[in-house]
Structures are given as structure tokens and as C-alpha cells.
Structure 1
Amino acid sequence: MNDRPELPDSPARPAPAAGAGTAATDPAALGRIWRWLRVCLDLLIAVLLVFAALRGIATADAGHLSPATWLWLAAFAIVYAIGRMQPDDGPRWWLPAVIACFTGLAWTSPDGVWLAFPLFFLVLQAVAGWYAVALVGVLTALAIGTIAWHGGWSVGGVAGPVLGAAVALMVGLGFRMLLREATTRAEAIDELLAARADVAEMSRRAGELDERARLAADIHDTVAQGLSSIQLLLHSAEASARDHGDAARTPDDRAASAERTIGQIRMAREVAADNLRETRRIIAALQPGALTGTDLPVALARVCAAAPATADGSPAHFSVDGDPRPLPADVEAALVRIAQASIANVARHARADRCAVTLTYQPGSVSLDVVDDGVGFDPAAAPPSGAVGIAGVRRRMAALGGTVSIESAPGSGCGVSVHVPLDDAPSTTRPAPAAPRAHSPKEPR
């Protein structure tokens, strides 16, 4: 019987923001109004019952109330009180029992007809839809019939119950529609909040994946590439040591071989120290160590000189075109990482005799080119399993809105070029000192 929507003060629903709604659209406020209407309805029925009882006592000598009237009056009060003590609107038999008691009271006493008006609202509270309208119509007919039974037909006897029923229907049904709209609005808000929470969770997960990809690229471009360089240097040192022990070699050749071995070991130690610093900086989430306290050209020259690039362990040749100028920190960091990854790829895969790195400053953009004369490869072929160098370069350029161009063919060397567009606004990075053209110990042949 209780078909009206419930409006519990659920703790799961966040409180609406200030100014987000009024009492006309706030389900909690409407629920409080609904409960106050029930209290007022109970008080009105109690007042009318007391009024009927007092009228009966005052006119007892005239026989105004019969014993049957007193029984119906007591039955109505008891049944109504039992229902109100139950949760919600009482058991399913309660409303029919109240209407039956009202019918008996109204037919035995004209004062009982006054209970029809609060009963209209009681029906509209307890029953929804056309059932409520039908029950209000039945109560209206009962009220008109009992008035005619006690005092005959009159315009007031018909118009009074009809107008009362009409007012009750307009108020009750209007309030129910408002309540339904508020409930729908609250459910929509809950769905939006849940959707917003889902979007926030997806964003958090996407951020975690991006951070993992960034860390993987940083580790690949620093630790992995540094270990690869150390491996190549130690391999060259091992070969030089064998040459040094060759008895057929002259003393001068042995001395040169020993010096070369010492230099390669020293370079391997320096690369290991640089990688240790880079690892610590990755952990501390700082910018690339090569950029600390210096400008981009000097940092790139240091990167080129610190690692072997060619088949014989020589470093890459570095040059600068254009006028150096300060760049955004994220652009400088990306170019340093790309240079590290590209040089390591040349050393690991190209077996090149020459490798050149060129930084080019252009109006509104900056470019970095890494070119070698090694074995080359087919750019359209799938990369080997576990290869992340080129993928990391593309990912860094995509984050900066830049482009990556790879030109290579088997036996024809390789050229990797990255291009980053820049804003015309002045950069907030550190000022760039006049950058010298840095050269590797071995110029390209």
C-alpha cells in the first residue's frame, strides 16, 4: 500500500553544494516537509476526534451521540493510533480499516463527516496514482451521502466535500510530482558523482601508466644505455690487452696499446659514474644530470664525448647550427634523453665508422639529428623484442608536439631527426651562455 517514494537521509549521498538547489528540488528538504505534513495531519485528526467527543458530551441530554457513535469514535482512534505507531504508513489492512471506521462514524454522527478532509490527504500520502484518486472519490461520495442522510440534500452539502477533495488532490498530487522530480534529480546527481569518480579513477590509472612509461624511457636512455657503453668499452679494453701481450709487437706498439686500454677503462669508469648520478636523479625525479648547471649544447657535447658510438669505440662528433638560445626545460631534457638513446643504439646495432650529432636552432623550432654510416635497417620492419629506444623517442616527441623522422636502409646507415616547434614567447628556463662548438676527440672522416 505504501507506494510513495522514500527519502531517507542517506549518508552515502554527498551534501549538495551551496546554491545548488532549493527546498523545491532538494529531496532531503522535501522529505522533512512530508514528515511535517504527517504530523500536522495527525494533529488535525486528533482535534476533530476531540471535537466530536466534546460535542457528544455537551449534547448528551439531547441524544446527539448514540452508543454506536461512541464505539465508532473509539474504534477510529484506536485503529488510527495503531497504524501511526507502525513504520511508514502501517500494515496493508490499516487504511481500509480507517476508512471503514470513518464510514461508520459518519453515518452515526454528522460531526464525523469533518474527518473526510484530513482523510483525503491521508489517502494521497499512503496510495499513489489513480488508486489514490479513486479512493478520494469514494470518500467524497461517502461524505456527500452522510451529509444528505443527516440533513438532507443541499448545495453546500455537495460543494463542500467536492471542493475539499479538489484542493486535497491538487496539493497532494502536486507535492508527489515535486517529490518524484526531486528523487529523480537526486538519482541523476548520484550517477554523475559515480561517473565522475570513475573518470577520476581512470585518469589516475592513466597517469600511473604514463609515469611507468616515462620511468621506463628514462631508465632505458640512461642506465641501460650506460651499461651498454660500459660493455663496449670493456670489450675494446679486453681486445687492447690481448694486443698488449702479443710478443710479436714492438715496445712502442705495446705502450700505445696499454695507453689505449687505460683510456678505455677510464672512460668506462666515467660512464659508470655518470650513470650512477643519473640513477640517483631519476629516483629524485630531477632533470637529466647533463643539464645541471649548464646549457643544452654543452650538455649534448658532454653526452657525445662520454660514450662510445662507433665500432672502434670512438665517441660521436657533435656540432651546433644556428644561434643557441634558452629552451623550455622539458624540451632540453627530452633532447638530451633522445641523444643518449640514439648514440647507444648506434653503438649497439650500427657497427658504424662515423657518427655525428647536430643540434640546429631555427626560428620557432629546434632540431636534433643523429646520423651514422653503419649497417642500417628497414624502418618499416617490426622492432626486435624488447626494443624500446625508437618507441621512447616517439613518445617523448608526441608529448612535446614534435615529430620524428627516420631514414635508413640495409647497408646505407641511418639518420634520426627530431623536430620540436617552440612558442615565440620568451622561455622561463635558465639563460644560455654563449655555447662553444663542441667537438669529439675524433672528427668524422
Structure 2
Amino acid sequence: MTERALTPVPRLLSACLHLLVLALLVLATVRAFLGAAEHPGGVLIAAVVVGAVYLTGPLLSGVRRSAAGAGLWLAVLLVAWLGLLVLTPDAVWLAFAWYFLLLHLLPWRVGLVLVGITAAVAVAGFAWHQREFMVAMAVGPVLGAAVVVATVWGFQQLHAESERRRALIAELTATRAELAAAEREQGVLAERERLAREIHDTLTQGFSSVNLLLTAAGRQLAGHPGLDGPAGYVEQARQVSLDNLREARSLVRALAPPDLRATSLTDALRRLADRTRTPEVTLRTEGEPFALPTAWEVALLRIAQSALANTVAHAGATRATITLTFLAGEVHLDLVDDGSGFDPADLPDGPGPEGGFGLASMRSRAAELGGTLVVESAPGAGTAVSVRFAGEVEHEER
């Protein structure tokens, strides 16, 4: 990005600059006809030429788009100005307007050099008309150049600061929108998980119990040939409860997190490990995998995500291992890292200093499903998080 792109002149400043050039040209012409110049007609013609060249600049697209086009236009303008300066010493004050143009339209260093040359030419032209040089003649052009340089530099810094603030505001706005979207998504996911747990703990368990009772009743009725009618109704009721059990399980599956809807818990944990770059995460499985209740899978996945997030954010670990173990009627999930560790006794029972529940939330999630969560850690000795679910496992249909 060029300096010209970084320092646009506001419309008000541009209007003031146009008025300044026009006023100085009119002043030089009027003074010439009042006797301040030997050739007033020539001054008038030269002033018209300078004004015409100056007014042409804003109309040319090349002047606005490139430093080369602006440089060519400025060269023609300064040559026309030199002609006017030869005819009248009053043209020296136009140099003040040219300073702004040079610094605005050209790269900063080139503009500074040309401002110095323009100031020197203005001083020399004024001295040539006076037939002698005095230090006082240099005060006006040099002081004007210094004021313009300081003004443009200050405006450039203000504009750069404004751009930085604009970028920061845009970044903060985008971040706020992302956080709001993440909070909404998290709220939706949390509600879906709550509904899944409610359906699993009420409807699914209720239909399972009804199915078991009807199955037992059907077996007893099967031993009494005279009760074929009631036995048929019992079997029909059992089929209805079984169909509704399948439907309830389908609802629970549909409300599960996206990572678990079309895949297994092992695959979901593997993707979690692969997505984490630091620390390096390894997934291990032990035992013969079997179908778990959806509520268990959801809890295990969420606990693994939360524990790994804590490791990434706080542990400073280089390696972490997730171990999923299947035993008879129970499942264990362990996450061990080689990070800095901590004293578990120092953790708050409720929300942490950053507003998160951390380990307290993981314990609560495990306890809601009859599981247990254990944390082992010490300063400098890494951290191990272990969660266990056990009980009679129904093999749910997928």
C-alpha cells in the first residue's frame, strides 16, 4: 500500500486547498494590474494556464490512481507555476499549496525531496525579482514547508490510528458474532443432550420394563392352552412396546451430538485426537467394543472434549493419551497428559475464574448417569482424568 493510499485528504481540506489556489491566483493577477508586475497581461495568461492545469488534475483518473500519473500532472503544474513566478513575485505564495499536493500525491520520501526543491525555487524566484537575496526572504517558504510537512505527517498518523481502530472494531464485531453463534449452538446442543437424557431415562427405560414384563407374562400364558386369546393380546402389546422402544431409541440417537450420529464413540474420539495438534494426542482402545447406551457415549465424548480442552489451555503438555477400555458390563475413559499438573484441592467447586465449570461439570455429567469421575494430579507431575460407567447394558439398535 502506498503513502498516497494511506493519507487521503478529506473533502473539507481539498475544498480549502482549491479556494487557496484560486484566491492566490486572483491576488497575483489583481496586484499585477495594480502595478506590482511589468507585464500584467502575461500574468493574467500565466495565471489562467496555472488554474486550468490545476483544475484538470482532479478530473483525470490517472492522477487519482497512480503516483506516476500524479507525478506527470504535478510536473506540468510546476512548470506552469515557474512561468508565473518569472512574471510576478506574488506567485511565490502558491508554493504553500504545492507542498500539500506533493506530499499527498507522491510517496512520502519523494514528496519531501520535492517540497524542499519547491521551497528553494520559491525563495530563488522571489530573490530574483528583488535583485538581491536576504535571509528574511527564505522565512516564509521554508516555514510554510515545515508547517505543511508537520500537518500532513500528523494527519497521516491520525489516519493510520483510525484504520487500526477500525480494523480492531471489525475484528471485535466478528469475534462477538462468532461467540454469539457458538453460544447459541452450545445452547442448542445442551438442550438436545438434555432431551436425549430425558427420553433415555424415562421413555426408553419404561418401554424396556414393559417389554420385559410382557415377555414374562407371555411365557406364563404359553403354558395354558386355554388362554390363547389373552396370550395373543399380550404378544401384540409386547410388539407395540418393542416398536415404541425402537422409536424412542431412534429419537435419542437423532438428538446425539453430530460426531456420534453416524459413527461410533471410538471413531469420534479418534477424530478428536486427530484435530488436536498441540499436544500430540494418541487414542488407545482396550477390550472388545460393544454397543453403549447413547447417553453414555454422549457423556464420554463430552468429558473427553472438556478434559482435552483443559489440557490444551492450561497444562502446557507435549503428549496426551486417551484410553477407552471395554470390560464386562462397564466402560472406562482415561485421559493422561505430561503437563504441568496442579493440586486438585485448589479447584473451586463451582465455576472457575474464567466462567467455566471444568472438572465440576464433568463430575456432574458423569454422576447424572450413575458414573464416577476421578482426577489425579500434582504440580509438575501431569494429570490423569478417569471416568467409569458400569451397569447392565442394553444393546441398543442403531
TM range (shorter): 0.5 to 0.7
The aligned runs of 1:320-359 (5 Å cut-off) are none
Higher mean C-alpha displacement, 105-114 vs 261-270: 261-270
- Asked if residue 387 in structure 1 is aligned to residue 366 in structure 2, the reply is no
Which of 226, 229, 245 is residue 209 of structure 2 equivalent to? 229
Q: Hey, what's the Cα distance between the residues in 1 that align with 2:142 and 2:296?
A: 85
Look up the match of 2:25: 49
Look up the match of 1:63: 38
- Asked if residue 85 in structure 1 is aligned to residue 32 in structure 2, the reply is no
* Larger Rg, first or second structure (1 or 2): 1
Identity %: 32
Look up the match of 1:210: 190
Look up the match of 2:108: 129
After TM superposition, give the deviation of residue 242 of structure 1 in Å.
0.6
Q: Hey, what's the Cα distance between the residues in 2 that align with 1:220 and 1:161?
A: 87
Amino acid in the other structure paired with 1:75: V
After TM superposition, give the deviation of residue 231 of structure 1 in Å.
2.4
The aligned runs of 1:130-209 (5 Å cut-off) are 130-151=109-130, 152-209=132-189
Q: Is the 1:226–1:271 contact (alpha carbons within 8 Å) kept by the matching residues of 2?
A: no
Secondary structure of the corresponding residue to residue 385 of structure 1:
coil
Q: Is the 1:45–1:118 contact (alpha carbons within 8 Å) kept by the matching residues of 2?
A: yes
Q: Hey, what's the Cα distance between the residues in 2 that align with 1:75 and 1:200?
A: 61
After TM superposition, give the deviation of residue 186 of structure 1 in Å.
1.0
- After superposition, the Cα gap between the structure-2 partners of 1:84 and 1:223, relative to the gap in structure 1 and judged at 3 Å, is same
Q: Which runs of 4+ in 1 moved over 6 A?
A: 261-272, 393-398
- After superposition, the Cα gap between the structure-2 partners of 1:389 and 1:46, relative to the gap in structure 1 and judged at 3 Å, is closer
- After superposition, the Cα gap between the structure-2 partners of 1:271 and 1:175, relative to the gap in structure 1 and judged at 3 Å, is same
Q: Is the 1:117–1:161 contact (alpha carbons within 8 Å) kept by the matching residues of 2?
A: yes
- After superposition, the Cα gap between the structure-2 partners of 1:223 and 1:119, relative to the gap in structure 1 and judged at 3 Å, is same
After TM superposition, give the deviation of residue 203 of structure 1 in Å.
3.1
Structure 1 unmatched ranges of 5 or more: 8-30, 247-253, 283-379, 407-414, 420-445
Higher mean C-alpha displacement, 107-116 vs 118-127: 118-127
Q: Hey, what's the Cα distance between the residues in 2 that align with 1:72 and 1:98?
A: 11
After TM superposition, give the deviation of residue 38 of structure 1 in Å.
1.1
- Asked if residue 37 in structure 1 is aligned to residue 37 in structure 2, the reply is no
Q: Is the 2:81–2:91 contact (alpha carbons within 8 Å) kept by the matching residues of 1?
A: yes
- After superposition, the Cα gap between the structure-2 partners of 1:135 and 1:214, relative to the gap in structure 1 and judged at 3 Å, is same
Which of 81, 87, 111 is residue 90 of structure 2 equivalent to? 111
- Asked if residue 76 in structure 1 is aligned to residue 50 in structure 2, the reply is yes
After TM superposition, give the deviation of residue 245 of structure 1 in Å.
1.7
Select the structure that is richer in helix: 2
The aligned runs of 1:4-19 (5 Å cut-off) are 4-5=4-5
Q: Is the 2:218–2:235 contact (alpha carbons within 8 Å) kept by the matching residues of 1?
A: no
Q: Hey, what's the Cα distance between the residues in 2 that align with 1:405 and 1:184?
A: 49
Q: Hey, what's the Cα distance between the residues in 1 that align with 2:147 and 2:94?
A: 15
- After superposition, the Cα gap between the structure-2 partners of 1:405 and 1:38, relative to the gap in structure 1 and judged at 3 Å, is closer
Q: Hey, what's the Cα distance between the residues in 2 that align with 1:167 and 1:5?
A: 22
Q: Is the 2:47–2:84 contact (alpha carbons within 8 Å) kept by the matching residues of 1?
A: yes
Look up the match of 1:402: 364
Q: Is the 1:113–1:143 contact (alpha carbons within 8 Å) kept by the matching residues of 2?
A: yes
Amino acid in the other structure paired with 1:227: F
Q: Hey, what's the Cα distance between the residues in 2 that align with 1:191 and 1:163?
A: 42
After TM superposition, give the deviation of residue 389 of structure 1 in Å.
4.3
The count of corresponding residues between Structure 1 and Structure 2 is: 278
CA offsets, 1:143-191, max 9 Å, x none?
Answer: 0110111112012111221111111111111111111121122112212
Which of 77, 80, 87 is residue 98 of structure 1 equivalent to? 77
After TM superposition, give the deviation of residue 404 of structure 1 in Å.
4.6
After TM superposition, give the deviation of residue 121 of structure 1 in Å.
1.8
Q: Is the 2:363–2:372 contact (alpha carbons within 8 Å) kept by the matching residues of 1?
A: no
Q: Is the 1:2–1:89 contact (alpha carbons within 8 Å) kept by the matching residues of 2?
A: no
CA offsets, 1:290-346, max 9 Å, x none?
Answer: xxxxxxxxxxxxxxxxxxxxxxxxxxxxxxxxxxxxxxxxxxxxxxxxxxxxxxxxx
- After superposition, the Cα gap between the structure-2 partners of 1:71 and 1:208, relative to the gap in structure 1 and judged at 3 Å, is same
Q: Is the 2:46–2:83 contact (alpha carbons within 8 Å) kept by the matching residues of 1?
A: yes
Q: Is the 1:73–1:105 contact (alpha carbons within 8 Å) kept by the matching residues of 2?
A: yes
RCO higher in 1 or 2 (8 Å CA, sep ≥ 6)?
A: 1
Q: Is the 1:405–1:418 contact (alpha carbons within 8 Å) kept by the matching residues of 2?
A: yes
Q: Hey, what's the Cα distance between the residues in 2 that align with 1:99 and 1:80?
A: 10
CA offsets, 1:255-302, max 9 Å, x none?
Answer: xx999x799899979989x99xx99xx9xxxxxxxxxxxxxxxxxxxx
Secondary structure of the corresponding residue to residue 153 of structure 1:
coil
Amino acid in the other structure paired with 1:50: V
Q: Hey, what's the Cα distance between the residues in 2 that align with 1:125 and 1:162?
A: 18
After TM superposition, give the deviation of residue 36 of structure 1 in Å.
0.9
- After superposition, the Cα gap between the structure-2 partners of 1:87 and 1:244, relative to the gap in structure 1 and judged at 3 Å, is same
Secondary structure of the corresponding residue to residue 5 of structure 1:
helix
- After superposition, the Cα gap between the structure-2 partners of 1:205 and 1:383, relative to the gap in structure 1 and judged at 3 Å, is farther
Amino acid in the other structure paired with 2:4: R
Q: Hey, what's the Cα distance between the residues in 1 that align with 2:161 and 2:28?
A: 39
Q: Hey, what's the Cα distance between the residues in 2 that align with 1:2 and 1:108?
A: 37
